[in-house]
Structure 1
Amino acid sequence: MGIAETYTRGRQAAVARPGSIILGLVVAVLLFDLGVGLATGDNSFSGVGSLMWDGLMRGLVIGLAGIGLSMTYSILNFANFAHGDYITAGAFSGWATTYVVAGLGRADIGALFLVGASGSVFGGTLGIGVTGTPLAVVAGALVAGGFTVALAVVIDRTVFKPIRDESGITLLITSIGVAFALRYIMQFVFSSSVRGTTAQPPSVSLYFVDGVVRINAHDIALVVVAGGLMLGVHLLLQLTTLGKAMRAMADNEDLAQITGIPTERVVRAVWIIGGGLTGVAGYMFVLWKGTLGFNDGWLLLLLIFAAVILGGIGSVYGAIVGGLAIGLTASMSVIWIPSAFSRAAAFFVMIVILLVKPEGIFSGRSTA
């Protein structure tokens, strides 16, 4: 009787949710293949460890930047395509500050402000990094967050607020226009060249039986900053009056207005918090990877959207978990497929999981 009942339930689950069966089989096959590769030496433990660490770093950046995008959607109910260029704006403003602070008196001020455009000055020459120029890095991160807050608030007041009562499509198309405007302003000011931004940071080695995994000071800085800010968002949402107001407005804006919640103040807080997190995410992303280009945020935006959708549109916690999932998938996928297809793998995983759980990991629109 027990076997028959188990079989019946399994068949019902397979019919109701065939995607879950397919997902389970795919995961089992990939894990089996990974295990075989480790046993035969085709894959190394240190190599897999390096990919996992790289995926965690990417996931932290995607998750941190995704919080702002998720908050915007949950409160204002539109997908902000300018979000990627907020990331880039934060990165450029922060790194301009870092270069000026680190290189003042050692290089031309114009070259420093333009973050060494056209090879006029190099971060490696200035010794820029967490350990080499800690004050410059801290100043850059603070300016990146503050500048992006100001940018987000100004654009909301001048562009989004006048059309806030229009449809989501109108806001979406407008945000695309804002994105292009910001991107090409940054290209005009800072040039289209991709430049190195930091000196080689010191690292520690984690030893495996077949090699080492190196973790450098910039990796640790990213973990500390991203983890601290994510914890701060959690405490804000759960323990403060503002956080409760944000959650109430996300659940039902009309009811929030009736109960006396100052919705315009909440909207302003969303742009301030989301903008600050986004700017810092852009700065830390460049600190981690060591290069800066005018379209960095735009290239990252699709992965951020994938993370937000995967986690559950509008869920802050979903954005964090989705970011980690997307980052790990993009990095780990190179074990099985060419690296050129790593982004495609991240989107494929998103699609498969949504087939199993269409509402996302954290089940839909909620700032919590």
Structure 2
Amino acid sequence: MGGSESITWGARIREQPLLFVAIIAGVLLALDLIARLAGIEIPLTGSRTFGGTLTFGRFRGLIWNGIVVGLIFGLAGIGLSMTYSILNFANFSHGDLVTTGAFTGWGAALLVAGWGTADTGYLLLVRSGSGENVNEIGASIVEAPLGILLGVAVAAVATVIVAVAIDRLVYKPMRGRGGISLLIASIGAALALRYVIQLVYDGTNRGVTSTRDVDAEILSLSVDLHEASLVIVAVGLMLGMHLMLQRTKLGKAMRAMADNKDLALVTGIPTERVVTATWVIGGALAGISGYLYVLERGTIEFNLGWFLLLFIFAAVILGGIGSIYGAIAGGFVIGFVHEVSLIWIPSDFNAAAAFVIMILVLLYRPQGIFGGVTTA
């Protein structure tokens, strides 16, 4: 048994030497992290050292940030994974659906939070132009909880309307023409939607959330209430997706259609209704993820979703294309690496670190973490 396992690993190392290098690098990074937490520093060459100083508080903060960012990637990735598994094409307009939810949701949140303190158009257009600053408007979970919650609902509804409209106008007439045609059409839809957003809301990067009194002490820990709200909403939606997939007729129909669309049609499953439900659920989750990302980030811009799209795709590919649970797991991995890698590299390179991990994992497991599992 032991001998056969050694031969197998030897063969893998010969076939994939980069995998062996990655394992060694992972072990060295783990040892370096332990040394940093212990305050041990060993000089190497020049100014380089092994180990160093890393407070437990900063390490805990990076892990928390990784969880928060991972939830965003995972939540947005669910809709992208559903689209691929049920409709069989990579939807490049998904990132701009994320942006749609961010702007429409925050337009509603600012309108409620700043009612009577600023011009209605200025609030609905998410502070486009000049006017009252974010602290005067007071859009935060502390100062305007009703507005923040309303923004979640509006982000979902508005994005669903846009997603279904794009499907009816662009994708539905092209079904059956193959994934490449739909992929190219989705790129065109993405560009059109992005510049409509820029035309309506303008292209400036501006703040939207109030920074007053959003930190609180919970169990002797300093917690950002916006981040805590993001975690609660995102985890609740993920649990809801699990229950829907496993315990409802719609969920079973989605899984059946993802496994075999022709067989699902023969057995009487209303495939067109399932497709519509896919756009409704995927669009709602995409819009809410964009809204929550801005809640945590504090600023908004018209190409926000485009910048996130590569991370969302990375999460879906890493988790296993077509698997909702894989999208969630992949989101956590990408988010964790994106933040924790800051221990060793500057922030300008942490995005590259996340993609390197994706490549390394796929070298060992090409089908992804949950590869072979469709929809669920």
TM tier relative to shorter chain: over 0.9
- The letter of the residue matching 2:115 is L
The answer to whether 1:203 aligns with 2:215 is yes
C-alpha separation between the residues in 1 aligned to 2:337 and 2:217?
A: 24
- The letter of the residue matching 1:13 is W
The answer to whether 1:289 aligns with 2:300 is no
CA deviations over 1:14-64 (Å, ceiling 9, x no partner): 313646544432321111011111122521111111111111110001100
CA deviations over 1:59-92 (Å, ceiling 9, x no partner): 0011000000000000000000000000000110
The residue that corresponds to 1:114 in the other structure is 125
Identity %: 51
C-alpha separation between the residues in 1 aligned to 2:2 and 2:146?
A: 62
The residue that corresponds to 2:171 in the other structure is 160
The answer to whether 1:171 aligns with 2:182 is yes
Q: Structure 1 pair 144/323, CA: closer, same or farther in 2 (3 Å)?
A: same
Q: Name the TM-score, length of structure 1 as normaliser.
A: 0.94
CA deviations over 1:195-248 (Å, ceiling 9, x no partner): 1111124323579xxxx9632111110111000000000000000011000000
The residue that corresponds to 1:89 in the other structure is 100
Unaligned runs of 5+ in 1: none
CA deviations over 1:141-199 (Å, ceiling 9, x no partner): 10000000111111100110000111211111111111111111111111111111111
**What aligned pairs does 1:32-181 form with structure 2 within 5 A after superposition?**
32-40=31-39, 42-181=53-192
C-alpha separation between the residues in 2 aligned to 1:215 and 1:119?
A: 32
C-alpha separation between the residues in 1 aligned to 2:138 and 2:10?
A: 58
The answer to whether 1:15 aligns with 2:23 is no
CA deviations over 1:335-354 (Å, ceiling 9, x no partner): 11121011100000000000
The residue that corresponds to 1:230 in the other structure is 238
Shift of 1:7: 4.4
- The counterpart of 2:314, out of the listed 306, 309, 331, is 306
The residue that corresponds to 1:275 in the other structure is 283
**Alpha-carbon contact 1:49-1:213 (below 8 Å) kept:** no
User: What is the aligned-residue RMSD (CA, Å)?
Assistant: 1.6
What SS does structure 2 have at the residue aligned with 1:215? strand
**Alpha-carbon contact 2:122-2:129 (below 8 Å) kept:** no
**Alpha-carbon contact 1:81-1:172 (below 8 Å) kept:** yes
The residue that corresponds to 1:243 in the other structure is 251
**Alpha-carbon contact 2:320-2:368 (below 8 Å) kept:** yes
Shift of 1:304: 0.2
C-alpha separation between the residues in 1 aligned to 2:4 and 2:264?
A: 46
Shift of 1:121: 2.9
C-alpha separation between the residues in 1 aligned to 2:138 and 2:126?
A: 14
CA deviations over 1:237-288 (Å, ceiling 9, x no partner): 0000110000000011011111111100000000001111111111111011
**Alpha-carbon contact 1:82-1:175 (below 8 Å) kept:** yes
The residue that corresponds to 2:266 in the other structure is 258
Greater mean deviation of Cα atoms: 233-242 or 181-190: 181-190
- The letter of the residue matching 1:273 is I
**Alpha-carbon contact 1:312-1:319 (below 8 Å) kept:** yes
The residue that corresponds to 1:336 in the other structure is 344
What SS does structure 2 have at the residue aligned with 1:204? strand
C-alpha separation between the residues in 1 aligned to 2:33 and 2:163?
A: 44
- The letter of the residue matching 2:87 is L
- The letter of the residue matching 2:182 is L
C-alpha separation between the residues in 2 aligned to 1:147 and 1:360?
A: 32
Unaligned runs of 5+ in 2: 40-51
Q: How many residues align?
A: 360
- The letter of the residue matching 1:330 is H
**Alpha-carbon contact 2:87-2:275 (below 8 Å) kept:** yes
C-alpha separation between the residues in 1 aligned to 2:106 and 2:72?
A: 17
**Alpha-carbon contact 1:119-1:195 (below 8 Å) kept:** no
Q: Name the TM-score, length of structure 2 as normaliser.
A: 0.92
C-alpha separation between the residues in 2 aligned to 1:148 and 1:339?
A: 31
C-alpha separation between the residues in 1 aligned to 2:105 and 2:328?
A: 23
C-alpha separation between the residues in 2 aligned to 1:121 and 1:94?
A: 19
C-alpha separation between the residues in 1 aligned to 2:225 and 2:243?
A: 27
- The letter of the residue matching 1:91 is A
